[in-house]
Amino acid sequence: MKKILFLTLAIILMSCNKHQNPFLKTWDNEFGLPPFSEITNADYLPALDEGIRQHSAEIQAIINKPDAPTFENTIEPFDHSGELLGKVVGVLFNLSETNSNDELDKIVLTATEKLSEHNDNIFMNHELFKRVEVVYNNSANLQSVEQQQVVEKIYRKFHRNGIGLDAEKQARLREINKQLSVLEQTFGNNLLAEVNDFQLVIDNEADLAGLPQSVRDAAAEDAKNAKLKEKWLFGLQVPSYIPFMQYSEKRDLREKMFKAYSSKANHGNEHDNRQVILNIMKLRIEKANLLGFNTPAEWILQETLAKNPATVNKFLTDLMTAANAKAKEEVAEMQKIIDDENGGFQLAAWDWAFYAEKLRVKKYDLNEDEIKPYFQMEKVRDGVFYCASKLYDIKFEPLKNAPIYYPEVEAFKILNPDGSLVGILYTDYYPRKSKRGGAWMNNFREQQVIDGVDVRPVIVNVGNFTKPTSEKPSLLTIDEVETMFHEFGHALHGLLSKCHYSTVAGTNTPRDFVEMPSQINESWAFQPEVLAVYAKHYKTGEVIPDSLIAKINNSATFNQGFMLTELVAAAILDMNWHEITSIDSIDVEKFEQESIKKMGLIDEIIPRYRSTYFNHIFNSGYSAGYYSYLWTEWLAKDAFELFLERGDVFDPATAKSFKENILEKGSSGDLMELYRKFRGQNPSIEPMLKSRGLK
């Protein structure tokens, strides 16, 4: 009996040993990329625990150094520490957003708690802080501005994470951080579940009235994939929702879709986010108070270019006044169309996209369905790469046989003229139930220099663009084209980084600067020279005709009242949430409606994100920071103006200066000084207002 038992145990152990945790061995493929196919859900938490153990040991080794604290023996090893933990976190959180499942969601919740505790253990460590403080107090003697920036950033992070609190308050802050990490992840999980749960199933072809054939085909294929025979399926993912709202002649169905979209996570079910929001805000307020601030906004904005809520609020109020006036003009134009057609109703929020499309056709003879055949996804991406190559002297090559985490994902290596590596780029562009909505850039590996070796970054660009069907490739809308250029601007910020320390490398800048490189990159999307490169008909290969290019550019300021108003409204709503001092007696919906009324938002428009699905501010790090899209647009439009002033959107000297002063620098210097070095003057808001049609 014992022999049988020992034999059984041996077999089990042999079976277990066949799978070695991929995080705990060297990634020996050519560029050290994550071996996605080898990683299982069971690997994450053991690897995370080992990563935390190793990182803690590295921190303790810094503390135990007998020599007096210096940048070289304290700050540099601190910046470079946590390699294994970074590998685990990079894969886990990227995949939890792009290819998640119920089991992975639970793993992430556990991981966020562990990481919160680990972060607190570091930044509430008085022995470590004493060493950092010594270096900080002598930072004027450091070798470079970059080193000074690194020291200052780390020193401030200790204070912002409670190093100055007594033991009792630190213990409470630890608990707050742990609870927030779980609540914020829960918010995102609830939102993804809500998006996936909604289906508009159409079984009567008459209810497809107005929808282009391409939209019908995509809906039919979605229905087929959902095992719904001879039906059409529409959902709340943007590539399905937007064209339905834009083209459907069925006003009742538009209303149904709009109300489903605008009430996500607000249905009183297990995925309702209202109480989650209140719980988050209660803890954020308490955290701010513990750290000596009246509101979360005061604490958050201390680390930004704007510095304080008053500056942000004035900026948004001024924009809202101009945007609202423009939006009211647009309402009048669309209402006239309704009246001319004897519609017999007042324009409502669910009518806006439909009548805006009619108005665009009327004013500019621009039908987006006529343009989409020229915007095949792969060719648009070629255009994105073309611009980067021409501007920054880099080249792109497909990376065949690269490990990928989903069949649709593609990989590219980016090279300098001498063949040296700039970085690796993954693109993941289509929606699926396992991916959260929106578009973003993230890192699997950040750029830094360790022991003289320049560790090049691994970047991912994610989108939720129009999917290919069995009949057609992916054909993008104008907005999707712009979004691809936008996210690649973030990718360039990460890829071209030439910093020594990850603390300040790449996109590790304040929120109200990080969106500038992405927004300026949009400026090349519809330049005639660029369109001639990528905008080719997917069937004939014909280059987009000049007449269509003119229509696109002539309509550039179309519907900007709406676009700007919904964006400003969301930013104001964000600020309103983060300037409260208590959640007592707050009802989420009433609070939101009072905010909308106070900001003067017209009835026909709602904020781009309502509270229960405002993932940016309750889960993605943009709390009291959504204004940054507008703040950085001001910088981006002003920056592109320099190219225009020099008469060449690819002016080599301007591009070289932008690369060297902005894209390569991260936050390794004073950001506004770097900007002025590039621009030669302080930024002006005039180019932004002009581009929005407000001047």
Q: Respond yes or no: is residue 487 known to be catalytic.
A: yes
Q: Give per-residue pLDDT as tens, 32-87.
A: 999 999 999 999 999 999 999 999 999 999 999 999 999 999 999 999 999 999 99
Q: Is the same domain home to 284 and 352?
A: yes
Flag whether pLDDT at 580 surpasses 70: yes
**Across 165-170, average pLDDT:** 98
Task: Copy the structure tokens of residue 11.
Answer: 């077999």
CATH of the domain at 285: 1.10.1370.10
For residue 305, tell me if it sits in a domain.
yes
How many domains are contained in the chain? 4
For residue 223, tell me if it sits in a domain.
yes
Q: Is the same domain home to 242 and 302?
A: no
For residue 80, tell me if it sits in a domain.
yes
Share of the chain above pLDDT 70, in %: 97
Q: Is the same domain home to 78 and 148?
A: yes
pLDDT, position 19? 81
Hey, which residues does 200 pair with through a beta bridge?
234
Q: Is the same domain home to 499 and 434?
A: yes
- Contacts of residue 625, defined as CB under 8 A and 6 or more positions apart, other chains included, come to 300, 304, 511, 512, 574, 616, 617
The Cα 402–Cα 320 span in angstroms is 47
Q: Is the same domain home to 139 and 224?
A: no
Flag whether pLDDT at 346 surpasses 80: yes
Q: Is the same domain home to 88 and 233?
A: no
pLDDT, position 694? 86
Flag whether pLDDT at 542 surpasses 90: yes
Flag whether pLDDT at 13 surpasses 70: no
Q: Give per-residue pLDDT as tens, 359-407.
A: 999 999 998 889 999 999 999 999 999 999 999 999 999 999 999 999 9
Q: Is the same domain home to 653 and 523?
A: yes
Q: Give the end of a domain, one of 606, 626, 646.
A: 626
Share of the chain above pLDDT 90, in %: 96
Q: Give per-residue pLDDT as tens, 637-671.
A: 999 999 999 999 999 999 999 999 999 999 999 99
pTM for the predicted model, two decimal places: 0.94
Q: Is the same domain home to 23 and 153?
A: yes
Flag whether pLDDT at 9 surpasses 80: no
Of the pLDDT bands very low, low, confident and very high (cuts 50, 70, 90), residue 522 is very high
Task: Copy the structure tokens of residue 596.
Answer: 């909308």
The Cα 516–Cα 486 span in angstroms is 10
For residue 173, tell me if it sits in a domain.
no
pLDDT, position 18? 64
- Buried/exposed code over 198-219 (b: 16+ C-beta within 10 A; e: otherwise): bebebeeeeebeebbebbbbbb
For residue 181, tell me if it sits in a domain.
no
pLDDT, position 5? 38
Q: Is the same domain home to 416 and 535?
A: yes
For residue 650, tell me if it sits in a domain.
yes
Q: Which of 184, 330, 357, 487 is catalytic?
A: 487
Q: Give the end of a domain, one of 592, 626, 660.
A: 626
Q: Is the same domain home to 30 and 112?
A: yes
For residue 190, tell me if it sits in a domain.
no
Parent domain of 534: 373-554+629-691
Lowest-pLDDT range of 74-83, 553-562, 686-695: 686-695
- Contacts of residue 45, defined as CB under 8 A and 6 or more positions apart, other chains included, come to 107, 110, 111, 114
For residue 170, tell me if it sits in a domain.
no
CATH of the domain at 505: 1.10.1370.40
Phi first, then psi: give them for residue 427, nearest 5 degrees.
Answer: -120, 135
Q: Residue 319 burial (CB < 10 Å; 0-12/13-18/19+)?
A: buried
Q: Is the same domain home to 359 and 452?
A: no
Q: Give the end of a domain, one of 160, 180, 206.
A: 160
Flag whether pLDDT at 4 surpasses 60: no
Q: Is the same domain home to 92 and 104?
A: yes
